């Protein structure tokens, strides 16, 4: 059996992988809440007991830096080792990859209806690609292309310093810095970042939290819900700030990676707020004034609306390795 998985800060998703008429099929998806377990091993023990099958190849996309076959998850106190998993569970081969690298592999398999165009641009068919995903954290990946070859590689750019571009964002930076001592881009572009922006606006406006927020504090989903429903002006401003910063970071990634083939926006937050993204406003922020404005305005920008891209990519890589 070939198995693919996606490990985030909150969930572990595992699927069986097979091909049908040369198409990848993901079957038997099982999801686990990380808060119910003390380690990934505990989850996998339960999964193995349930499946009762031998594993030829397992590929896991993990939210964290993978170094020499090991990864200490960024937002969980977990350590995963490919060799240890192979030994403990008698698996033929385990491959650990960063979850954004998994998503990058998944991009090749996504149908067009799973993408929304924000900027059509003029794609260089051999140009590099960039991937930015906001959710529990901020993931970034670059995809190097050489003719027909496709080489995704991981980045921890989400933990680089946040750079404010306005007085309001400078005040937001100072607010978060006063709490944490430093401000990573992920501190803005994540679910916790949405909470931070909302709390900042409450303090800036000298307002008490509304009843709905006091009932469910630190709930970014609720802030997004109130903003999209037009029921809270401050929540709407929160999404405006978030989207502006997201566009700015997408441009930073595009410039650093020369992603003339396009930039893709993924993650749970992107999918949730897609109805609120003003394409013109996003591109005004993406196309930074200055020497590279003409280059940036030509770069295609697309929004991923599929929530299994990382699983699909991990599956594609597993099948590629097995058939090699």
- DSSP-assigned states of every residue in 242-303: HHHHHHHHHHHHHHHHT-TTEEEEESHHHHHHGGG--HHHHHHHHS-SSTTHHHHHTS-EEE
For residues 41 and 84, state if they share a domain.
yes
Tens of pLDDT along 71-114?
Answer: 999 888 999 999 999 999 999 999 999 999 999 999 989 999 99
For residues 74 and 176, state if they share a domain.
no
Number of domains in the chain: 2
Query: How far, in Å, CA of 174 to CA of 215, rounded?
Result: 27
For residues 147 and 275, state if they share a domain.
yes
Angle ∠(252,140,101) on CA atoms, nearest 5: 140
Query: Could you read off the pLDDT tens digit of each residue along the chain, which spans 324 residues?
Result: 999 999 999 999 999 999 888 889 999 999 999 999 999 999 999 999 998 888 999 999 999 999 999 999 988 899 999 999 999 999 999 999 999 999 999 998 999 999 999 999 999 989 999 999 999 999 999 999 987 788 999 899 999 999 999 999 999 999 999 999 999 999 999 999 999 999 999 999 999 999 888 766 678 999 999 999 999 999 999 999 999 999 999 999 999 999 999 999 999 998 898 878 889 999 999 998 889 999 999 999 999 999 899 999 999 999 999 886
For residues 92 and 155, state if they share a domain.
no
Q: Which domain holds residue 148?
A: 112-304
The pLDDT value given to residue 251: 97
The pLDDT value given to residue 324: 65
For residues 74 and 222, state if they share a domain.
no
The pLDDT value given to residue 257: 95
For residues 6 and 101, state if they share a domain.
yes
Q: What is the dihedral of CA 191, 195, 197, 198, to 10 degrees?
A: 140
For residues 33 and 152, state if they share a domain.
no
Domain at 55, CATH number: 3.30.420.40
The answer to whether 15 and 48 have CB atoms below 8 angstroms apart is no
Query: How far, in Å, CA of 98 to CA of 141, rounded?
Result: 9
Structure tokens that stand for 152 in this block: 């995704």
Domain at 154, CATH number: 3.40.367.20
For residues 118 and 227, state if they share a domain.
yes
The pLDDT value given to residue 150: 85
Say if strands 79-81 and 70-72 run parallel, antiparallel, or are unpaired. antiparallel
């Amino acid at each position: 059996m070939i198995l693919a998985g996606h490990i985030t800060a909150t969930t572990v998703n595992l699927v069986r992988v097979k091909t049908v008429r040369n198409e990848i099929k993901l079957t038997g998806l099982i999801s686990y809440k990380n808060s119910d377990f003390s380690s990934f091993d505990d989850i996998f023990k339960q999964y193995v007991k349930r499946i009762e099958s031998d594993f030829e190849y397992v590929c896991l996309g993990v939210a964290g830096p993978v170094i020499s076959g090991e990864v200490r998850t960024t937002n969980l106190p977990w350590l995963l080792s490919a060799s240890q998993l192979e030994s403990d569970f008698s698996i033929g081969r385990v491959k650990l990859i960063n979850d954004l690298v998994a998503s990058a592999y998944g991009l090749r398999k996504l149908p067009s209806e799973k993408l929304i165009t924000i900027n059509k641009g003029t794609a260089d068919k051999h140009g590099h690609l960039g991937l930015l995903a906001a959710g529990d954290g901020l993931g970034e990946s670059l995809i190097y292309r050489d003719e027909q070859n496709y080489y995704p590689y991981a980045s921890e750019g989400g933990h680089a310093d946040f750079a404010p571009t306005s007085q309001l964002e400078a005040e937001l930076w100072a607010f978060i810095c006063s709490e944490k001592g430093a401000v990573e881009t992920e501190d803005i572009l994540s679910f916790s970042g949405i909470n931070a922006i909302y709390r900042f606006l409450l303090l800036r406006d000298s307002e008490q939290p509304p009843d709905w927020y006091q009932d469910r504090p630190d709930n970014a989903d609720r802030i997004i819900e109130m903003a999209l429903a037009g029921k809270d002006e401050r929540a709407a401003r929160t999404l405006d700030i978030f989207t502006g910063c997201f566009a700015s970071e997408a441009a930073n990634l595009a410039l650093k990676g020369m992603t003339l083939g396009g930039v893709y926006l993924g993650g749970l937050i992107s999918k949730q707020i897609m109805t609120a993204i003003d394409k013109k406003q996003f591109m005004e922020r993406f196309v930074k004034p200055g020497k590279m404005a003409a280059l940036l305005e030509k770069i295609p920008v697309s929004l991923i609306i599929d929530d299994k891209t990382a699983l699909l990519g991990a599956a594609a890589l597993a099948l590629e390795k097995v058939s090699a």
